Amino acid sequence: MSETRAVLRGVRLSVDKGRLVADLIRGKKVDQALNVLQFTQKKAAVIIKKVLESAIANAEHNDGADIDELKVKTIFVEQGTTLKRFTARAKGRGNRISKPTCHVYVTVGN
């Protein structure tokens, strides 16, 4: 019963958008999760798919796990730092633009 994880930090993606996609694959078998991510048309799906593939590669290389029996044990998306930018507005004013980041954690196991 080994578990292997992969982490991606500082992704330019909002937490809410990442969690929408993470909820789709939580608890599924790895091949089924990859299939769902392949056909989900969201930016977060591409990012989470890369992290899941990394976790699978870690499990195969480090633990010698059988890919066919792996499941997505846990997947969660946490809030990262927010980049604050300013844009020019009329009459010499400025508005703040928030560019949120997040951290993606994926754990696969039997």
Backbone angles phi, psi at 3, to 5 degrees: -125, 140
Average pLDDT over residues 10-25: 96
Contacts of 92 (CB under 8 A, 6+ apart): none
Which CA distances in Å does 106 have to 83, 84, 91?
24, 28, 47
pLDDT at position 110 is 86
Average pLDDT over residues 98-105: 97
Say yes or no to pLDDT of 26 above 60.
Answer: yes
What is the rounded distance in angstroms from the CA atom of residue 68 to the CA atom of residue 72? 12
Residue 43's Cβ-count burial label (10 Å; 0-12, 13-18, 19+) is middle
**What are 38-80's pLDDT values in tens digits?**
999 999 999 999 999 999 999 999 988 899 999 999 999 999 9
Contact in structure between 2 and 109 (CB atoms under 8 Å): yes
Average pLDDT over residues 94-109: 96
CATH fit for domain 3-109, picks 3.40.50.150, 3.30.1360.70, 3.90.470.10, 3.30.43.10: 3.90.470.10
